[in-house]
Structures are given as structure tokens and as C-alpha cells.
Amino acid sequence: MSTIEELQEIVSDIESDIGASKTVIEQIGEDIPTTIAMYSDVNTRNIVITVPKGETFNETLANISKALHLYVYTDSHACVISMRSTIVIEDNNYLCLTMYILSEDKAYILTIPYTRDTDVTWYNELAEVTPVDDQEFDEQGKDMITMFYIFINNVMPQNIFTPEEILSYLSSTDAAVKILDDKTYSFFDFSPEEEPLLQ
């Protein structure tokens, strides 16, 4: 099993991402969006995208894949994808914060089980950091890891979509994008006026 220190080699302040994801789960509940944070280097987050949950897993996967097209255009070095899942540990079912911490040469999965009654109870002692190579996946998990590999390792041709087309599409899915560097993009914003895509 790996450690938080290994994750910090990819994203130095990974504990901030973990804390933010826990807060979202505690405050929003179970219908949380997938969050994608891209980093230009080990210390600098350059874009954050929240992708709403689709009606089906495949719809959610499609929305995540469109967002990951921005990885190349933002000159990113690493990516942290946070989502809610479920996990079984010693025959006990838990809800789970699942985070994929990815770079071109390393990939890890962090799982932190929790339960929710009135409040959220975190089982940090059951948390695990696992290299992707050591993980066994079901069919959906294999699809996700394959997709992540394609985007993070620039296997996908860069000219399929422009950044403007990606942002226009994401606006139509009620995604929210926060660009933290000095790049600007022009695009058609299909999001409701009271909730602009770029924040």
C-alpha cells in the first residue's frame, strides 16, 4: 500500500483536495458532482471543473471525458478526479470518497470510506492509497482507468475539440469551470444566466 507522501510527489497539497472533497460530501449530500482539478505543476492548480452526475454511468463518463480534453490545452502536469462511490470492506458496505491522483508516470486511487446518518462519519483508519497497477477493477472501473490514461498521456489527438468547443459543451451540461491561471477563452455559454460556466 502507498502513502500520502507518494501522492504529494504529484500534487504537493493533496490534503487540501481531500479536505475540500470531504466538505462537499458533508455539505451537499450524496448527489455530488465529480470534481476535476488540473495542475500545471506539483504546486499550482490551474483549473477546476465540476461535472454534474449524469442519469447513467455512461453519461457521467462522457461528461468527464469531455472535461479531460482540457488537460492538454491547459498544459497540465497532473489531475485529481474526485467522486463518490461505494465500497465493501470485510463484508461491510460503506459510502466512499474515491479520488484518482494522476500524472503521466504515476497513478493512484485514494479511497476513504464513510457513512451518513444525520451527519457524515469518516473512517480514515480504513482509507487506502493504491497504485493503479495494483488495483483490480470491475468493467466500469476499467473503462474509467483506460479513459484517464488516454487523456493524461496525450494519446488522444489534440485537434478533436478546441477549448472553446469543450467549454461550450460543458456549459450545456451544467458543469462549472474555474480557470485559475491567466488564460482566457471565448465560447458559447449555454448555462443558465444565474449560474455562468466560468466562475
pLDDT in tens, 83-113: 988 899 999 999 999 999 988 888 888 999 9
pLDDT band at 80, cuts 50/70/90?
very high
69 inside domain = yes
DSSP 3-state of 130 = strand
Distance CA(68)–CA(63), nearest Å, equals 9
185 inside domain = no
Q: Is the pTM of this model over 0.85?
A: no
Q: Which residue has the cell 468527464?
A: 64
Distance CA(147)–CA(40), nearest Å, equals 20
Quote the number of domains for the chain: 1
Contact between 120 and 114 under an 8 Å Cβ cutoff? The reply is yes
197 inside domain = no
Domain that holds residue 126: 4-179
Q: What is the pLDDT of residues 106-137, one digit of tens each?
A: 888 899 999 998 899 999 999 999 888 756 66
